[in-house]
């Protein structure tokens, strides 16, 4: 499968979100990545349901929602109602991860589980066949524009091995510090989806940058 590109709206111009989403709509982007932060799980607050619900009306790409919040199970219904295609919850926030994954699927969404940079792949051994995607953080979550943590490439290789060995069909998405150089190595290692914030939205020609990431 050709890898997918999911630009992260966190780096967009928030004074002109309609223009930014229209740019994404006409680009080669496969998904739009949306980062929800609560100021508790991560040391930052981004945006929430009013923004998601507004985006839903103009976004023509599947919405890949990344929840950096405690107790995501509380909000499964709201995320579904906001039009999410994929709901990603952090492993570190879910005591009953299987219950949360089941609830996400019952609402008709794809279920993604996200790992912080320090959280080992091996913890997924008994849930990997139940999830649609694993989102590997290649920076500490909370901010765009951080530098890529090198160890992430090795995690992609080991996660690919686990997926192949167990017969699971989860996608591998990587988020944080992705550019043409890190992106190429991630795709070679077995990543299926690349998230890119700053590298896309702060570039002089975002549509072209998305095309270049897609061509890796």
DSSP states of 176-192 as a string?
Answer: SS--HHHHHHHHHHT-S
The beta strand positions in the chain, using DSSP E, are 4-7, 32-37, 63-68, 84-90, 110-115, 133-137, 171-175, 193-196
Structure tokens at 103: 């609830």
Give me the least distance between CB of 43 and ligand DX5, in Å please.
10
Closer to ligand DX5 by CB, 20 or 35: give it.
35
Structure tokens at 157: 């290789």
Closer to ligand DX5 by CB, 175 or 212: give it.
175
| DSSP state letter for 118 | T
Closer to ligand DX5 by CB, 41 or 168: give it.
41
* Closest C-alpha among 13, 114, 117 to residue 64: 114
Stretch that binds Zn ion, among 61-69, 71-79, 142-150, 158-166 (CB under 5 A): 61-69
β-bridge partners, 84: 63
Closer to ligand DX5 by CB, 8 or 100: give it.
8
Provide the mask over 62-101, with x wherever binding to ligand DX5 is found by CB under 6 A and - wherever it is not.
Answer: ----x-----------------------------------
| DSSP state letter for 73 | G
Structure tokens at 52: 């998601």
Which 64-93 positions form the footprint of Zn ion (CB under 5 A)?
A: 66
Given ligand DX5, Zn ion, none, residue 198, with its beta carbon under 5 to 8 Å by kind, binds ligand DX5
Residue nearest to Zn ion (CB): 66
Given ligand DX5, Zn ion, none, residue 128, with its beta carbon under 5 to 8 Å by kind, binds none
Q: Is residue 35 at the binding interface for ligand DX5, with CB under 6 A as the rule? A: yes
Residue nearest to ligand DX5 (CB): 197
Among 21, 24, 69, 142, the residue binding ligand DX5 under the rule CB under 6 A is: 142
Separation of alpha carbons 33 and 175, rounded Å? 10
* Closest C-alpha among 30, 32, 66, 60 to residue 48: 66
Residues near ligand DX5 (CB under 6 A) are 8, 10-11, 33, 35, 66, 139, 141-146, 175-178, 195-199
């Amino acid at each position: 499968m050709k890898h997918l590109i999911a630009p992260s709206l966190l780096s967009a111009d928030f004074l002109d979100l309609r223009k930014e989403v229209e740019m994404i709509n006409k680009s080669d982007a496969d998904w739009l990545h949306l980062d929800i932060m609560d100021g508790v799980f991560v040391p930052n607050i981004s945006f929430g349901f009013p923004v998601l619900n507004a985006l839903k009306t103009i976004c023509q790409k599947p919405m890949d929602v990344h929840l950096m919040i405690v107790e995501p199970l509380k909000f499964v219904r709201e995320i579904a109602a906001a039009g999410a295609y994929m709901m990603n919850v952090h492993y570190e926030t879910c005591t009953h991860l299987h219950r949360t994954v089941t609830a996400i699927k019952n609402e008709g969404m794809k279920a993604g589980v996200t790992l912080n940079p320090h959280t080992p792949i091996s913890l997924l051994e008994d849930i990997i066949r139940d999830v649609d995607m694993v989102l590997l953080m290649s920076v500490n979550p909370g901010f765009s524009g951080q530098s890529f943590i090198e160890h992430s490439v090795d995690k992609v290789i080991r996660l690919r091995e686990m997926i192949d060995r167990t017969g699971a069909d989860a996608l591998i998405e990587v988020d944080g510090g992705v550019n043409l150089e890190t992106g190429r190595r991630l795709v070679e290692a077995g990543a299926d989806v690349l998230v890119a914030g700053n590298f896309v939205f702060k570039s002089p020609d975002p549509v072209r940058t998305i095309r270049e990431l897609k061509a890796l």
